[in-house]
A and B are shown apart, each in its own frame.
Chain A
Amino acid sequence: MGRKTPLFRLHQELNARIVDFGGWDMPVQYSSQIGEHHAVRRAAGVFDVSHMCVIDLQGARVREFLRHLIANDVAKLTTPGKALYSCLLKEDGGILDDLIVYYLEERFYRMVVNAGTRDKDLAWIRTHAAPFAVELSERTDLAMLAVQGPEARAKAAQLLAPAQATAALALDNFVGRELGPWFVARTGYTGEDGFEIMMPAADAVPAWRSLNSLGVASCGLGARDTLRLEAGMNLYGNDMDESTHPYESALGWTVALAPPQRDFLGRRALEAIRAAGSARKLVGLVLEDRGVLRGHQQVLVSGAAVGEITSGTFSPTLERSIAFARVPAGTGAAVQVDIRGKLLNARVVKPPFVRFGRSLITQSEGPQAP
C-alpha cells in the first residue's frame, strides 16, 4: 500500500491498472498504453502528476540560496513566472535529482522535484537552506495535472474563467502564472505543447472529469514514459543518479559555469571533469533490427561491451525501438546491443527522437557515411 493522490479513487473508477511508483500507487495505463501515447501526440491527454513534490521557498536571501544550491543559475530568471530546469548536485558532481524551479517573486520561488527522491531532497535542501534563513514548505495541499498534446492548451483553457483562459493561452513556453487558486504553467514531459496545472486537491477530480468530457484522454505513467523517451528527456534513477554527473548524462546544457564566481554545490567537481573531458556520454539509439531495447542491456562496439542502455522502449510514433545509452565519449555512429544473447544493430543518434508529433529521425539506415 503506497501513498495515494487525490485522484486515486477516480483512477480506480476509470479501471486504471495501478502500480507502485516511487512509493505511490499510480495509474500505469487505463486501456491501451499505445492508444494513450497517440492521444497525446495527436490530440490531448491528461496525466496525474500529483505525486511529484512541490516545495515553496521563501526568504530575503532565497535567490542567493538557489544560486548556491543548484547547477543551473536562477539569475537567468528575470521575469516572474519563468521556469528553469536544473540538476541538484552533490559536492562530487553526482546528480541527487533533476527539478524545475519557478521564479514567482523576489523572495518566493517554487520547486518541483521527483516523488521517489522527495525525502533525500528535502533533507539536503533544508540542510543547505539553514544558513540562508530560507523557509521551505512542501505543498502537499496541491494536486498536479499535466495536460499535454497539440489540443491540450485549448481544451484546458475551457476549464478557466474567460479572463483567466486568455491569460493562460498567452503564457510563453516554460512560464507559469497564478490564475485564481490554480498555478498554470506551459511546461511538460512529453515533447508536446501543454500545461502543467497545480490546483487545490479538491479541484482535481472535477477538473479531470471536465477534461475527459472535452475529449482529453486519461493517460498513465506508461504512456508518459514512452512520450518522454521519444522527446529525449531523462528519467531520474534510470538515465542519471548519484553515481553519474551531468556531462555524461546529456545534461551539460543545464550546468551554468558562467559567471565563474558563482559557487554552487558540485561546481569544483564539474570544473575538473570538464577540464579532463568527460569519459562517457549519454546518446540516443535507434534499433535497426527487430526487437525492443531495454534498460541494462549491454552496448557493444566491435564485439566488446562498452556501455549500457539506461532507458529503452518501443516507440509508438516511430514504430521501432529507441533508447538512451551511456557509452564512451568516442563512440561512433554504429553499435550493437545484446538482446538475450543476440547482437542486434543500433544507430547512435542525437535525441530528441520526436517533437511536436513529428519524427526527427531518418527512417532508413542507408549506406554508412565514409
Chain B
Amino acid sequence: MSNVPADLKYTKSHEWVRALPDGTLEIGISDHAQHALGDLVFVEVPEAGRVLAADEACAVVESVKAASDVYAPLAGTVTLGNPQLTGEPQAVNSDPYGSGWLFRLKPAAGALAAAALLSAAEYQKFLDAEAG
C-alpha cells in the first residue's frame, strides 16, 4: 500500500502538489510513482525562471531501468529546483513527500483554479482503479 498524505493534491500522472505559505507550490512525485520506478539514479529538475505550461514535461526521473518524464501539474514559473537531488537522487525514493521534492512553482494567474487536481481520496481511488 503506498502512502497518500491527505494534505496534498495529486495528478493522474502521479505528481503531488503542496501549497506553501508564500503562495508558491512545491511539486514532487508520489510514493506510488517512486515505488513503480524503482531505485532512482538520476534526477533532472527545471531551473528557476523557467516558464511552464500545464502538462509540460519539465523534469526527468531516471531509475536503473528507465527514464520517466514529470509533468507540470499547472502553468507557472519555476522558483527553485531541488538542488539536493543532483547528489542524492535516492531522496525521491526514501522521502518522496519531503526531501525528495522536485521543484517549486509560482502559479500563473488563474492556473490553480483551472487545474483539475485530485484530492488524496480521489488519487487513492484512481490508484485502486489502476491496480484493479
Contacts and interface: CB of A to CB of B under 8 A. Distances in A.
Contact of B64 (A33, A290, A291, A340): A33
Interface size range of chain B in the complex: 10 to 19
Contact of A291 (B42, B63, B65, B66): B42
A354 to B, nearest CB: 15
B67 interface: yes
A22 interface: no
A236 B93 CA distance: 32
B29 interface: no
B38 A292 contact: no
A222 B65 contact: yes
A37 B65 CA distance: 13
Interface size class of A (residues with CB under 8 A): 10 to 19
B42 A29 contact: no
Contact of A314 (B60, B62, B86): B62
Interface in B4-49: 38-39, 41-42, 44
A37 B64 CA distance: 11
Contacts of A32: 38-39
A226 interface: yes
A34 interface: yes
A326 interface: no
A290 B42 contact: yes
A34 B39 contact: yes
A58 interface: no
Contact of B42 (A34, A37, A222, A292): A292
A316 interface: yes
B41 A314 contact: yes
Contacts of A321: 42
B42 A313 contact: no
Most buried by A among B42, B63, B64: B64
Contacts of A340: 60
Interface in A306-348: 313-314, 316, 321, 340
B64 A316 contact: yes
B42 A33 contact: no
Interface string A101-116: 0000000000000000
Interface string A286-301: 0000111010000000
A304 to B, nearest CB: 24
A60 B86 CA distance: 63
B67 A292 contact: yes
Nearest to B36: A17
B88 to A, nearest CB: 12
Nearest to B62: A292
Contacts of B41: 34, 292, 314
B65 A33 contact: yes
In the A-B complex, list the 8 residue pairs whose CB atoms are closest, starting with the nearest.
Answer: A314-B41, A34-B39, A292-B62, A292-B42, A33-B64, A314-B64, A32-B39, A33-B38
Interface of B: 38-39, 41-42, 44, 60, 62-67, 86
Given A35-B39, A292-B41, 17 more contacts: A28-B65, A29-B38, A33-B38, A33-B63, A33-B64, A33-B65, A34-B64, A37-B64, A222-B38, A222-B65, A226-B64, A290-B86, A291-B62, A292-B62, A314-B41, A314-B64, A316-B64
Interface of A: 28-29, 32-35, 37, 222, 226, 290-292, 294, 313-314, 316, 321, 340
13 contacts: A29-B38, A33-B63, A35-B39, A222-B65, A291-B42, A291-B62, A292-B62, A292-B67, A294-B67, A313-B64, A314-B41, A314-B64, A340-B60
